[in-house]
Structure 1
Amino acid sequence: MSDDVRMTAWVRGRVQGVGFRWFTRANALEIGGLTGFALNLDDGRVQVVAEGARENCHRLLDWLRSDDTPGRVDGVTEIWDTPRGGYDGFAIR
Structure 2
Amino acid sequence: MTQRAKILVTGRVQGVYFRYFTQKKARQLGVVGSVRNLPDGSVEIIGQAKSDVLQNLIDWSHKGPITARVDCIEVVSLTLDEMLVTFDITD
- Report the TM-score, using the length of structure 2 for normalisation: 0.90
Provide the alpha-carbon RMSD of the alignment: 1.4
**1:39 corresponds to which residue?**
36
Between the two proteins, what is the percent identity of the paired residues?
32
Q: 1:87 aligns with which of 69, 77, 84?
A: 84
Distance 2:48 2:66 in 1: 20
- Per the TM alignment, residue 90 of structure 1 is displaced from its structure 2 partner at its CA by 0.1
Map Cα deviations across residues 28-80 of structure 1 (whole Å, 9 max, x no partner).
Answer: 01112x11000000000000000110111100000001364531100000111
1:66 equivalenced with 2:57 (yes/no): no
* Residues matched between the structures, number: 90
Report the TM-score, using the length of structure 1 for normalisation: 0.89
Distance 2:66 2:56 in 1: 13
Residue 22 of structure 1 corresponds to: 20
SS at match of 1:27: helix
